[in-house]
């Protein structure tokens, strides 16, 4: 099968979170099974772009409303990612450094999608599946069905994968003229609660919809940032497929970002060396358990709760643990966490920003990773952490619920708590400190986790089975 993935992110080209990791891995594993999976994404001005060689494969000319533009599609020459990677360039729209965060993001991603569909329309054949990821590619299923110019592509099956339903790409109706001329009978396929909602449109128009864990799909029927009724209505075409992790990239025995490699049998020693590097760099006490947080500092991740959790842990449990935080996001949370460096007694530090290499070192050197998420569609951090022998401390939600079993349960290996609330999280930290003190149990849990299989193999097959049903 020929599968075209359309996404705003793809590791290692451009990544802001889990979407990038998944789109950088899933096609590779699909190709390994003999299929032809490709990725098409915007041509941001990234380091990856300048460090690689490219061939121009298509030049087109189309329009977004009254604005006519040239676009260019280029392809990475060496296929080094394990799949064909295509970048779409639209001068003035996509030639920016960052992925998100511009005031014209709606126009940027709309222009990108128009160019992608226009390019596919120029192919001499049709792909077997167009697989769109999140709202940034969510208007493509609508365009294939309702835009006159592209309607001849309507028989190409489309699959939407929802990595995060919080972000939906809302646009006012004043922007409706920016879409390629469309059949006005189809307006209901764009609309949700009086605006154009690209994610809702994709849920309505795609042939199948997947979410990145089973529990998340269940939860969306009651909490989906306004789309609950739509998920309930469309449940027949929705299915949960748990993300895998790229075990070639995330492997403590070969990870190129860390110096001290290890496997399940020498984890204690290997991890200690990475912990030592972290403790020296961030002035932490190596004898205490190291609890880390890695992620976006936003409400979804429960990051706003961290300052109080840390203060309460120090006050009520004692200064018996270290905290190290890596992340960026809400400016208030960033500055609150940064200001707290003052209270450190060699037991607290923070790095504000995005740092891929530090994140790998933290997965390797930490004893515990804290994920007090309010919403977690799948969550990759806990799976990376387990592969690196780091015990996940997670809220009982979404993909965290599907991948972490509390160590108090038979065969359990993690710490789970029910509420994204300071009291519950602090209780989890108390349990972590207790567990760290039970040397043999702690080592046994570490061993168990490192041998769990979170690889893509099973999930890839589920996606392929899903595509087959669409033929």
Residue 252 in the binding site for ligand ADP (CB under 6 A): no
Least separation in angstroms between residue 190's CB and ligand ADP is: 26
Least separation in angstroms between residue 209's CB and ligand ADP is: 18
The edge-to-edge listing of strands for the beta sheet with 54-64 is: 54-64, 67-76, 84-89, 36-42, 2-6, 129-133, 158-162, 208-211, 238-240
Residue 462: enclosing H or E segment and its boundaries?
A: helix 456-469
Distances in Å between the Cα of 110 and the Cα atoms of 116, 222, 249, 278, 406 are 10, 29, 32, 42, 43
Residue 251 in the binding site for ligand ADP (CB under 6 A): no
Least separation in angstroms between residue 232's CB and ligand ADP is: 24
- Residue from 260, 328, 426, 459 touching ligand ADP (CB under 6 A): that is 328
Residue 214 in the binding site for ligand ADP (CB under 6 A): no
**In the complex, which residue's CB is closest to ligand ADP?**
18
- For residues 456 and 462, what is the distance between their CA atoms, to the nearest angstrom? 10
Contact range with ligand ADP by CB under 6 A, out of 112-120, 280-288, 353-361, 412-420? 353-361
Residue 326 in the binding site for ligand ADP (CB under 6 A): yes
Beta-strand ranges (E) seen in 77-133 are 84-89, 129-133
- Residue from 5, 14, 17, 394 touching ligand ADP (CB under 6 A): that is 17
Least separation in angstroms between residue 65's CB and ligand ADP is: 32
- Residue from 14, 18, 144, 275 touching ligand ADP (CB under 6 A): that is 18
Least separation in angstroms between residue 293's CB and ligand ADP is: 9
Write the interaction track for ligand ADP spanning residues 161-200; mark x where CB under 6 A is met and - where it is not: ---x------------------------------------
- Residue from 115, 380, 386, 422 touching ligand ADP (CB under 6 A): that is 380
* Residue 313 vs 381, nearer CB to ligand ADP: 381
Contact range with ligand ADP by CB under 6 A, out of 15-23, 119-127, 191-199, 307-315? 15-23
* Residue 143 vs 242, nearer CB to ligand ADP: 242
- For residues 348 and 358, what is the distance between their CA atoms, to the nearest angstrom? 16
Least separation in angstroms between residue 252's CB and ligand ADP is: 14
Write the interaction track for ligand ADP spanning residues 293-312; mark x where CB under 6 A is met and - where it is not: -xxx----------------
Contact range with ligand ADP by CB under 6 A, out of 80-88, 182-190, 233-241, 351-359? 351-359
List helix spans (H) across 313-412: 331-339, 356-365, 381-387, 398-403
Number of residues that bind ligand ADP (CB under 6 A): 19
For residue 207, give every residue at least 6 positions away whose Cβ sits within 8 Å of its Cβ, in sequence order, or none: 141, 157, 158, 159, 237, 470
* Residue 153 vs 370, nearer CB to ligand ADP: 370
Residue 111 in the binding site for ligand ADP (CB under 6 A): no
For residue 97, give every residue at least 6 positions away whose Cβ sits within 8 Å of its Cβ, in sequence order, or none: 44, 45, 46
348 phi and psi angles, rounded to 5 deg:
-150, 135
Distances in Å between the Cα of 144 and the Cα atoms of 39, 117, 183, 186 are 18, 8, 11, 12
* Residue 418, Cβ density class (10 Å: 0-12 exposed, 13-18 middle, ≥19 buried): exposed
Residue 327 in the binding site for ligand ADP (CB under 6 A): yes
Chain mean position to CA 152: 33
Distances in Å between the Cα of 12 and the Cα atoms of 25, 38, 297 are 10, 15, 22
- Residue from 113, 349, 381, 426 touching ligand ADP (CB under 6 A): that is 381
- For residues 267 and 408, what is the distance between their CA atoms, to the nearest angstrom? 22
User: What does the angle CA 240 – CA 241 – CA 244 come to, to the nearest 5 degrees?
Assistant: 150
Residue 379 in the binding site for ligand ADP (CB under 6 A): yes
- Residue from 355, 434, 447, 461 touching ligand ADP (CB under 6 A): that is 355
* Residue 313 vs 328, nearer CB to ligand ADP: 328
Chain mean position to CA 160: 15
Least separation in angstroms between residue 5's CB and ligand ADP is: 16
Contact range with ligand ADP by CB under 6 A, out of 74-82, 271-279, 333-341, 373-381? 373-381
| Cis amide linkage into residue 218, ω under 30° from 0 | no
DSSP codes of every residue in 76-87 = ESS-TTSSEEEE
- Which residue's structure tokens are 């789109």? 23
Interacting residue ranges for ligand ADP, rule: CB under 6 A: 17-19, 21, 164, 294-296, 326-328, 354-356, 359, 378-381
């Amino acid at each position: 099968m020929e599968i075209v993935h359309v996404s705003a992110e793809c590791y290692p080209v451009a990544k802001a979170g889990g979407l990038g990791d998944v789109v950088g891995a899933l096609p590779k594993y699909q190709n390994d099974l003999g299929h032809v999976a490709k990725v098409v994404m915007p041509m941001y001005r990234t380091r990856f772009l300048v460090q690689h060689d490219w061939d121009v494969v298509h030049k087109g000319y189309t329009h977004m409303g009254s604005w006519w533009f040239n676009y260019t599609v280029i392809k990475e020459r060496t296929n080094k990612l394990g799949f064909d990677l295509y970048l779409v360039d639209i001068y003035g729209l996509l030639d920016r450094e960052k992925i998100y965060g511009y005031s014209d993001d709606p126009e940027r991603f709309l222009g990108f999608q128009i160019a992608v569909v226009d390019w596919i329309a120029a192919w001499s054949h049709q792909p077997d599946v167009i697989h769109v990821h999140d709202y940034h590619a969510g208007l493509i299923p609508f365009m294939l069905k309702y835009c006159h110019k592209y309607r001849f592509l309507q028989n190409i099956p489309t699959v939407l994968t929802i990595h995060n339903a919080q972000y939906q790409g809302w646009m006012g109706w004043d922007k409706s003229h920016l879409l390629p001329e469309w059949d006005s009978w189809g307006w209901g396929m764009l609309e949700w609660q009086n605006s154009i909602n690209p994610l809702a449109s994709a849920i309505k128009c795609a042939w199948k919809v997947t979410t990145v864990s089973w529990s998340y799909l269940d939860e969306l029927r009651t909490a989906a940032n306004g789309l609950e009724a739509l998920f309930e209505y469309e449940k027949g075409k929705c299915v949960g497929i748990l993300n895998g992790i790229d075990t070639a990239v995330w492997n403590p025995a070969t990870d190129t970002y860390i110096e001290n490699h290890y496997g399940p049998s020498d984890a204690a020693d290997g991890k200690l060396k990475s912990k030592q590097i972290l403790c020296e760099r961030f002035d932490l006490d190596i004898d205490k358990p190291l609890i880390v947080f890695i992620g976006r500092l936003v409400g979804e991740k429960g990051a706003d709760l961290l300052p109080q959790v840390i203060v309460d842990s120090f006050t009520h449990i004692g200064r018996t643990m270290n905290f190290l935080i890596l992340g960026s996001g809400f400016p208030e949370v960033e500055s609150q966490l940064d200001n707290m460096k003052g209270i450190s007694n060699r037991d607290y530090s923070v790095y504000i920003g995005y740092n891929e290499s530090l994140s790998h070192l933290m997965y390797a050197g930490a004893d515990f990773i804290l994920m007090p998420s309010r919403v977690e569609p799948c969550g990759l951090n806990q799976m990376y952490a387990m592969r690196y022998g780091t015990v996940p401390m997670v809220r009982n939600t979404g993909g965290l619920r599907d991948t972490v079993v509390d160590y108090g349960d038979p065969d359990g290996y993690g710490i789970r708590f029910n509420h994204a609330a300071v009291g519950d999280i602090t209780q989890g930290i108390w349990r972590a400190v207790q567990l760290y003190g039970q040397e043999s149990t702690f080592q046994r849990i570490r061993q168990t986790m490192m041998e769990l299989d979170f690889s893509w193999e099973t999930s890839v097959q589920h996606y392929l089975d899903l595509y087959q049903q669409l033929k």
